[in-house]
Amino acid sequence: MQPTKSLFFTGVLLLFGIFLAFTGLVLLSRIIGPLPFAITQTTTTKQSTFDVSGEGKVTTAPDKGVMSLGVTVNESTVKQAQDKANTIINAVTAALGKLGIEKKDIQTDNYSLYPNYDYQAGGQKITGYQVNATLTVSVTDFAKLNQAIDAATQAGANQVGGVSFTLTDDKKKDVEDQARKLAIDHAKEKAGSLAKLAGMRLGRIVNVVEQPASRPYPVLLKSAGGGLGGGPESKTTNIEPGSTTYQYTVTLSYETF
């Protein structure tokens, strides 16, 4: 009988505890009011956008000229070929230096030595050796460009090629920024006109995409040279830089209402 009595008292105490807890909650709610409870609702609306493209084009005169000067010699021995080629290269470099072209603007791009073969005797016989050397010269004074070609050929250079015109880094950046600004202004003007005609209201610009710039337009070269060799009857070289055009396309994305 003793265990049964103990379980009975335990059950009574448990019920009494639950009653006290419930009573305490009721009294607390009357003192401080109902407990706060809130639901936050978030609504996401997809924003419509309006895309429009504009173009910007800037044409300017190049301020940098680059040319390739070459030397090719053929001699019966390796030493003779190298000595002759080196003598001509040094003479060409010295001639360019007299024009005020600094050594940092003269770069050796190629120096190669090959044997010359004779295959007519039914075999392979070395008949001599050929040395090819190429210098790349950069100038910002185009008067010196013409003078450099004449001086180099008179000093022994027998190859001139790869004459091109471009922009120095600072001027290129300035021209590219101008073209970009023109492209953005053009896109904004188009967006305003189209939105007005379509009865749309534009918001802020939410995205900008720049398409790769088109390569600068090729430059046509004019030359009055009478050939290489530096003879007394050779005419003075006259190469004109022409102009270079940079073009950019920009696409703007507007919010619409």
Task: Kindly state whether residue 207 falls inside one of the protein's structural domains.
Answer: yes
CB 219 within 8 A of CB 243: yes
Residue 239's pLDDT is 76
Task: Kindly state whether residue 41 falls inside one of the protein's structural domains.
Answer: no
Mean pLDDT by 10 residues, the chain (257 residues): 55 61 59 50 64 95 93 97 97 96 93 92 87 95 90 95 88 94 97 94 94 61 43 63 89 93
Query: Could you tell me which of 80, 63, 81 has the C-alpha nearest to residue 72?
Result: 81
Residue 143's pLDDT is 84
Position 111: which residue type? Y
Query: Could you tell me which of 64, 94, 83 has the C-alpha nearest to residue 133?
Result: 83
Determine phi and psi for 36, rounding to 5 degrees.
-65, 140
Considering the domain architecture, whether residues 56 and 88 belong to the same structural domain is answered as no
H-only helix segments in the chain: 2-32, 78-98, 142-154, 169-198
Cα separation of 115 and 170, whole Å?
A: 45
Residue 44's pLDDT is 46
Considering the domain architecture, whether residues 184 and 246 belong to the same structural domain is answered as yes
pLDDT tens across 70-107, in order? 999 999 999 999 999 999 999 999 999 999 999 999 99
Residue 68's pLDDT is 94
Considering the domain architecture, whether residues 103 and 114 belong to the same structural domain is answered as yes
Considering the domain architecture, whether residues 146 and 126 belong to the same structural domain is answered as yes
Residue 86's pLDDT is 96
Considering the domain architecture, whether residues 142 and 233 belong to the same structural domain is answered as no
Q: What is the CATH number of the domain that holds 103?
A: 3.30.70.2970
Q: Which domain holds residue 22?
A: 1-33
Task: Kindly state whether residue 39 falls inside one of the protein's structural domains.
Answer: no
Cα separation of 180 and 56, whole Å?
A: 6
Cα-Cα-Cα-Cα dihedral of 104, 105, 109, 113, to 10°?
Answer: -80
Considering the domain architecture, whether residues 158 and 82 belong to the same structural domain is answered as yes
Considering the domain architecture, whether residues 71 and 120 belong to the same structural domain is answered as yes
Residue 226's pLDDT is 42
Considering the domain architecture, whether residues 195 and 157 belong to the same structural domain is answered as no
Domain boundary among 150, 166, 182: 166
Cα separation of 152 and 139, whole Å?
A: 14
Task: Kindly state whether residue 40 falls inside one of the protein's structural domains.
Answer: no
CB 219 within 8 A of CB 241: yes
Is pTM beyond 0.85? Reply is: no
Considering the domain architecture, whether residues 179 and 202 belong to the same structural domain is answered as yes
Considering the domain architecture, whether residues 59 and 78 belong to the same structural domain is answered as no
For the chain, report the end-to-end CA distance as a whole number of angstroms. Answer: 84
CB neighbour list of residue 246: distance below 8 Å, 6 or more residues apart: 57, 58, 59, 60, 175, 176, 179, 213, 214, 216
H-only helix segments in 33-107: 78-98
Determine phi and psi for 138, rounding to 5 degrees.
-115, 135
Task: Kindly state whether residue 106 falls inside one of the protein's structural domains.
Answer: yes
Considering the domain architecture, whether residues 58 and 172 belong to the same structural domain is answered as yes
Our count of domains for the chain comes to 3
